[in-house]
Each structure stands twice: as C-alpha cells, then as structure tokens.
Amino acid sequence: MSHNTIEINKAMDKFDGRHSVWLFGYGSLIYKADFPYIERRPASIEGWTRRFWQGSHDHRGTPEAPGRVATIVPQPGAVCHGMAYLVTPEEFAHLDHREKNGYLRLAIDIHFDEEHSEEGLVYIATADNAAFLGEATELDIAQHIAAAVGPSGPNAEYLLHLAQALRELGHHDEHVFTIERHLRQLRGG
C-alpha cells in the first residue's frame, strides 16, 4: 500500500451522517491539536500499544531519510492512553492530510476516565504501508530519531513532546520512556 492514504481514508463512510465523532490521539495528537474541536478529554483504547515503528517522510524526516513516529499495534491486554477530541466530520479532510503518510482511519471503542466509552476513530499505520519501518530496539530507535529532521522539525522534538505529554497525563509508557532515556544519553544529557 502506498504511504499516501488520503484517498483510502476519504472512502471510509462509517461515520457519515454524524454531526460529531470522537478521535483518539496517541502520538502528536496528544499535544498538538492543529484543528478545531468541540471537546478534548483524556482517554484510552484497549488491546493496542504505542510503538515507534512508523516512518515519517513528510513531518519528522524526508523521503531519503525518514524519521520515526508512533503508531499502535495490537497487543492483548494492553491499554494505550492518549487524548480524545470530539470533532465534526468537516475536520476529516485536514486530519487525512496530516496523517497521510501511511495512516488509515479505524473505528474503535474509546474509553474515558469515568468508565464511559464511545465508538470513535483512530489513525493507525499498519505493517503493509510503504512508510512502515518496523520493530527495532529502543536504542536503535533512539539513534534513528536523534539523526532525523523534517519539515516539522527534529524527530527528537516529537519524541520529547510526546514523553512530556504522557507524564502530564499521569501515564507511564515503557517503550516511549526507554527511547527518551536513550536519546538523552546520546545527546549527553
């Protein structure tokens, strides 16, 4: 599958006719909402875990030297914490463009802190997209991130902002925090 997923995502009609839809963010969407939203709330999804296995050719890297950004992969029993945004369907065009580098919309149950859940959507990058970089050790991922820069800035900035956002939410993510620790060691601090 091409890493440009805009047209594929436009064809998803699951939420047609709704006035608003919950969107779950687990990466930069936790801390960077560059779109209007009706409501923003901490939330989680079950059965998925965050991994820095997706390449970024358009934001945190280039086609010649992609960065590494977060996706989610299935893991039984896992809980992935993040931020949910209630948006109108008009925002999908912007979101589809923002997430065009291999991410597809997926309908999912989003759980809110007060034990309430609603069906919404999440963008995921699966192993069959052309930008997928795949599994690596946290040290290898940190070394990759330390060297990558794209139009949206250094790849390290993405990782550090995500780690800080997770701390502010009060959630520990071993994968993210281990990569962050390696990155700080590589940078001498």
Q: What pLDDT score does 5 carry?
A: 54
Q: Catalogue the long-range contacts made by 16-20 (C-beta closer than 8 Å, 24 or more residues apart).
A: 16/89, 18/89, 19/88, 19/89, 20/86, 20/87, 20/88, 20/89
Q: What pLDDT score does 1 carry?
A: 52
Q: What pLDDT score does 149 carry?
A: 97
State the Cα–Cα distance between residues 55 and 27, nearest whole angstrom.
13
Residue 74 DSSP SS3 = strand
Please report, for the chain, the start and end positions of each structural domain, with discontinuous segments joined by +.
Answer: 6-186
Task: Report the predicted TM-score, pTM, of the whole model to 2 decimal places.
Answer: 0.90
Q: What pLDDT score does 125 carry?
A: 94
Q: Among the residues of the chain, which ranges form H helices?
A: 6-10, 92-98, 138-147, 155-169, 174-186
Which residues are identified as catalytic? 99
CATH architecture of residue range(s) 6-186? Roll (3.10)
Taking the chain (189 residues) in runs of 10, the rounded mean pLDDT of each run is: 53 67 96 95 97 95 95 97 95 88 91 88 94 97 97 96 98 98 91
Q: What pLDDT score does 9 carry?
A: 44
Contact call for residues 110 and 45 (beta carbons, < 8 A): yes
